[in-house]
């Protein structure tokens, strides 16, 4: 599977996309899915405190049963260890830090993308952000292994521009880092040509999923998921959960986390009816 440049991908208004629930059997068209999905906003609702984004036991059971019949990977901006702890399933693959840190069954653990070289810059930027934003009400500077997320969801409206300006200034001080936008966050990430889409491609190659009868499906809700949607366009299926502030390269839509679970359940049952399962 070749990577498709984002600039070539078709973009749509999320509200105009057809529902992925309309006809799941027709959607996968006899192929066996390989499912990749974000955590926040897909497996757990978006909440003010990232530490409280807890997945329900029902969703966990759905994921477990889906992973019994096809490959499933959680691709998150969270640290890989953090998202593993939240999901608590050992038959899934986990791509944390936007795919810079990947683990899975049979003791898989690798860190593709070359992000280790950016750690000193992240350390320095973290200290500066903590100092310059310490008096801003509601701001959260979250250090991850290969990123820093500056959350401003709980910041008073008249202080948001200050948070964004300071963050932009700190990024500009470190050429090893680049900006990563998201829902009410701005991230500092390694300035490398690596993203969720490339993590999906890496997993497809590593797991020998580049087969004519395999259909990659990526489910995401955030701007950071657009790289994966664009990468798979024309070769797989992108499913947008809800909407964000920009047009999307996804081609189908689900409304919320509840619909994600319904879709995953339908996918599991559809796969089980196929002759090769």
Question: Which residues carry out catalysis?
Answer: 38
**Residues 44, 247 contacting (CB under 8 angstroms):** no
In angstroms, the CA 8 to CA 26 distance is 26
Query: Other C-beta atoms within 10 Å of 174: how many?
Result: 17
In angstroms, the CA 137 to CA 152 distance is 9
Reduce the DSSP state of residue 162 to 3 states and report it: helix
In angstroms, the CA 275 to CA 246 distance is 40
In angstroms, the CA 75 to CA 101 distance is 10
**Residues 207, 241 contacting (CB under 8 angstroms):** no
Query: Other C-beta atoms within 10 Å of 193: how many?
Result: 9
**Residues 124, 114 contacting (CB under 8 angstroms):** no
Rounded to an integer, what is the distance from CA 2 to the centroid of its chain? 20
Query: Other C-beta atoms within 10 Å of 16: how many?
Result: 9
Reduce the DSSP state of residue 248 to 3 states and report it: strand
């Amino acid at each position: 599977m070749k990577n498709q440049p984002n600039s070539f991908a078709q973009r749509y208004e999320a509200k105009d996309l057809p529902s992925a629930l309309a006809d799941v059997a027709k959607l996968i068209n006899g192929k066996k899915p390989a499912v990749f999905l974000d955590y926040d906003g897909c497996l757990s609702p978006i909440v003010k405190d990232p530490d409280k984004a807890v997945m329900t036991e029902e969703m966990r059971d759905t994921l477990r049963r889906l992973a019994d019949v096809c490959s499933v990977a959680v691709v998150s901006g969270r640290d890989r260890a953090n998202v593993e702890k939240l999901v608590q399933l050992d038959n899934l693959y986990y791509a944390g830090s936007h795919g810079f840190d990947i683990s899975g069954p049979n003791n898989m653990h690798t860190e593709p993308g070359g992000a280790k070289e950016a750690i000193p810059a992240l350390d320095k930027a973290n200290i500066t952000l903590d100092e310059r934003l310490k008096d801003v009400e509601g701001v959260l500077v979250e250090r991850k292994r290969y990123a820093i997320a500056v959350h401003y969801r709980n910041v008073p409206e008249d202080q948001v521009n200050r948070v964004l300006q300071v963050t932009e200034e700190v990024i500009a001080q470190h050429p090893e880092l680049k900006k990563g936008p998201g829902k009410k966050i701005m991230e500092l990430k390694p300035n490398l040509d690596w993203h969720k889409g490339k993590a999906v491609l890496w997993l497809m190659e590593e797991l020998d999923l580049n087969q004519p009868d395999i259909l990659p499906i990526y489910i995401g809700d955030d701007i950071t998921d657009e790289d994966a949607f664009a990468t798979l366009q024309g070769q797989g299926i992108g499913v947008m959960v809800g909407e964000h502030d920009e047009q999307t390269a996804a081609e189908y839509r689900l409304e919320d986390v509840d619909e994600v679970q319904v879709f995953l359940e339908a996918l599991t049952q559809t796969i089980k009816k196929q002759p090769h399962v």
